[in-house]
Amino acid sequence: MMSNVTKPLLCIAHRGGPQMGPAPLPENSLAAIARALALGVYAVEIDVFQIEGELLVTHDRRLGRVVSGQGIITEQPLLYLREQCLDNGEPIPTLQQVLQLVGDKALLNIEIKGQNSVPALKKILQEYIQNYQGSYEQYTVSSFDHQQLYQCLQELPHVKRGVLIEGIPLDYAACCEPLKAYSFNTHLSFITPDLIQDAKNRGLKNWVYTVNHEDDWRYMQSLGVDAVFTDKPDKLIVFNQQ
């Protein structure tokens, strides 16, 4: 039992690991991702929407909170979206830019947000791996859209799949079985020892989002969780070194 208590939590920089303050590093920005990589995180998590065959790296379906502009992102032309920017002046990153920035420095968790993303994801990953001698082992794809995860199983079988849920299903982690998932990605507010244990029994990694406080990190360790998504990668790395 002691090994569970002392096992470091793998650090996944949630939405790239944003930083507030006078020189902000907005979520899903290249600047935030670069900082997370410099910290030595295990993985970087980003969100993608498919627009006109391009995968744009941003979280919200509606513009205005993190990205300038107005309206629902999937209803805007790509040309308009290319003109928008984040708080630090960056344009919305593309998946290609993030792939090049991350390289083989960390695992990249690509969360599918928008619909019809898998064909573009397949094309972009294949092109990057061919052009830069990359490896599918560097990536994992996650989504609350289990239909698209099933598409990933068919179209990108070599890429690990993380099954996102928010809540406690009646059959715990059973939804991961037909998706041949690598990890079960669960919400901090809906964690029970039984849920974690069921995933373990099925051979799944337990990844929990979004965990930003030391008492919660300790609780995750006590449950034997493998990794956490955090907005505070710098603090979690220090915590792991204690």
Write the pLDDT tens digit of every residue in 53-85. 999 999 999 999 999 999 999 999 999 999 999
Separation CA 143–CA 58 (nearest Å): 14
> Taking Cα atoms as reference points, which of 158, 155, 154, 192 lies closest to residue 173?
192
Separation CA 145–CA 164 (nearest Å): 8
Per the listing, tokens 């989002």 go with 209
**Statement: the pTM of the whole predicted model exceeds 0.85:** yes
> Taking Cα atoms as reference points, which of 162, 44, 159, 161 lies closest to residue 106?
44
Q: What is the pLDDT of residue 4?
A: 42
Confidence band, pLDDT 50/70/90 cuts, at residue 1:
very low
Separation CA 66–CA 85 (nearest Å): 8
> Is residue 3 pLDDT above 80, yes or no?
no
Confidence band, pLDDT 50/70/90 cuts, at residue 108:
very high
> Taking Cα atoms as reference points, which of 38, 43, 47, 46 lies closest to residue 10?
43
For the segment 164-210, what is each residue's pLDDT rounded down to a tens digit? 999 999 999 999 999 999 999 999 999 999 999 999 999 999 999 99
Separation CA 102–CA 108 (nearest Å): 7
